Structure 1
Amino acid sequence: MDKKHFLNSINCEDKNLISNIFNKIQIAEKTNKIIFTNDFLPPAIWHQILAISEEYEIKPFTNGIFKDSDRRMLSFSSGESPIEYPIVLLKIKNKSKFARVDHKDYLGAIMSLGIKREKLGDLIIQDSVCYAPVCSDISDFIINNLNTIKNCPCDVTEYDYVSQDLPERKFEEKVIITTSFRLDGLVSAVCNISRNSSVELISSGKILVNYFNCLKKDKVIENNDTLTIRGYGKFKVVETVGNTQKGRLKVVIKKYI
């Protein structure tokens, strides 16, 4: 397996990340053991890894715990997909009956412990509970140190996702009107702000496209792309469903709840 060819086959600016993945594939090949990444990768990365897997004897597999997870841990094996991954699903319960906490509050509280975003999978919120897949090597640390979410007391325990039902992600779906699929136009429509304000968000680094920072206001967004807009939330672009009388596009988007 040629490392240079592998690195050039993956479209990602973080070549250290791709190099580390290549090294894990080599370890799996040499030891004939199942090797896992020690973080959760965005779909822009693991989709590409899966796409080129036919070229290699070692096969990649993914797991994000939830159905249709965006962020997933990769494993590499010469055999079948592993049954168990080094992932712990945490159940974080807001114990306050008077204050509501949102996705960004749970995520911010966990990361304030010094934990990188890559160590966490998708977070799903149901009522006053957050379900968070985390790398197993940090689960005890979070359980012992996460005491509050947005000044609200919380209780953190492990959730047995093998024998118990898994929560499902919920979306808020709506149709927006935009002049084009350019990033600045879509951000303007999604956030209901002016085009100049959307450009400011993009230039200040507050926009992620498929989980990667994007500073190009003229980047063309495609169906199934994910936009993360700091201060507004995370959205998936679904499809175009028609045009207005003035020729603008009607686009279905889903906001992650």
Structure 2
Amino acid sequence: MDREEQLFLHRLHDLSDACFQRGIPVYTDFLNLHEQTVFLSALPEFSHVRCYLDGGYETAERKIVCFLPVYGGFEEGPDREQLPIVPVRISSSAGKFTVPSTHRDYLGAVLNLGIERGKIGDIIVGDGFAYCLCTENMSDFLMEELKSVRRNPVACTRASFADLEENQSFTVITGSIASLRMDALLALLMKCSRSRASECLAEERVFLNGKLCVSQTAVPKTGDILSVRGVGKYIFDGVLTSTKKGRQMVQLKKYD
């Protein structure tokens, strides 16, 4: 564990200790996949409190850690509506003249306001709009100050968590692989050789259900979330058919 990871864990311990000593819920900012992996690897160290990860919707990639007291009415876990996460809808007001914007465009516009990356969770992009998850203490500033994305004038309003699930869009990917193991699946998704896919695993760019995956032989299950840094995020839909030669036709949905 390097010094940066040690400092990160030290901050988590400070928050969990505050939760334990004061008997109140305490939350982190949004964590990326690597930070979540570091936290989960040290989970036994936080046995004095209850710990939950949540990003505002079921398949969120960036998540906050919720530290809750063991007693005092917090035994059932956090209610999402009570979390310090606010979904903000960013809508273009340019009508038919709206210039298509990507995830990078929305994220860049938000960060250009001076907002720290940890204050922003996932961004779900639609046609002429996007949903941006942010921490509660940053939501009013974001809604008041964000005026444009790319060349589009935008208006920001508070949304509901239900809106996030309803407005996700996917691209369906199907293909044939020799075996149902991670290097073969990555080779399909990245359109590369299995040796290059293995390098991607060794470079610690692959996460399965939010946990770092470095195993070439890991076998995903139907419904698993696969994230590859620099490539995309996918839901594994499982095996559709198998050929007589033993190849398997698989299907995944890529988050747009």
The answer to whether the superposition gives a TM-score over 0.5 is yes
Unaligned runs of 5+ in 1: 1-6, 8-12
Alignment of 1:133-152 (within 5 A): 133-152=133-152
| AA partner of residue 237 (structure 1) | F
- Report the alpha carbon displacement of residue 222 of structure 1 after superposing the two structures with TM: 2.9
Q: Tell me which amino acid in the other structure corresponds to 2:220.
A: E
1:256 aligns to what? 255
Runs of 5+ in structure 2 lacking a partner?
none
Structure-2 residue corresponding to 1:30: 21
Question: Is contact 2:89-2:129 (8 Å) kept?
Answer: yes
Provide the rounded CA distance (Å) in 2 between the counterparts of 1:194 and 1:63: 33
Is residue 130 of structure 1 aligned with residue 125 of structure 2? no
What fraction of aligned residue pairs are identical, expressed as a percent? 23
How many residues are matched?
240
1:219 and 1:111 mapped to 2: Cα distance?
38
| Residue 58 (structure 1) shift | 1.8
Shift of 1:255: 0.7
Measured after TM superposition, the shift of residue 86 of structure 1 is 2.0
Hey, what does 1:4 align to over in structure 2?
none
Q: 1:209 aligns with which of 197, 207, 230?
A: 207
Aligned position for 1:120: 120
Cα deviation per residue 1:44-100 (whole Å; 9 max; x = unaligned)?
Answer: 838975995798342123443324434332222224145522222211012332322
Secondary structure at 1:137's aligned position in 2?
A: helix
- Provide, for residues 137-184 of structure 1, a one-character-per-residue CA deviation record: whole Å limited to 9, x for no partner: 33344334433323322222333x37xx52313333332222345655
Contact 1:63 1:74 (8 Å CA) reproduced: yes
How far apart, in 2, do the equivalents of 1:208 and 1:154 lie?
34
Q: Deviation of residue 117 (structure 1)?
A: 4.0
Q: 1:62 to 1:206 in 2, by over 3 A?
A: closer
Pair 1:52–1:189, CA change in 2 (3 A): same
User: Are the equivalent residues in 2 in contact too, given 1:92–1:129 (CA < 8 A)?
Assistant: yes
User: Counterpart amino acid of 2:88?
Assistant: L
1:110 matched residue in structure 2: 110
Which amino acid letter does the alignment assign opposite residue 28 of structure 1? C
**RMSD over equivalenced CA pairs, Å:** 4.1
Distance 2:6 2:195 in 1: 32
The CA deviation at 1:212 is 7.8
2:68 paired residue among 77, 95, 99: 77
| Length-normalised TM-score, structure 2 | 0.71
Q: Tell me how far apart the structure 2 counterparts of residues 100 and 42 of structure 1 sit (CA, whole Å).
A: 28
The alpha-carbon distance between structure 1 residues 212 and 110, as it changes in their structure 2 partners (threshold 3 A), is farther
Give the whole-Å Cα distance in 2 for the aligned partners of 1:44 and 1:249.
34
In structure 1, the partner of 2:235 is: 236
Partner of 2:55: 64
**Distance in 2 between the 1:68 and 1:47 partners?**
19
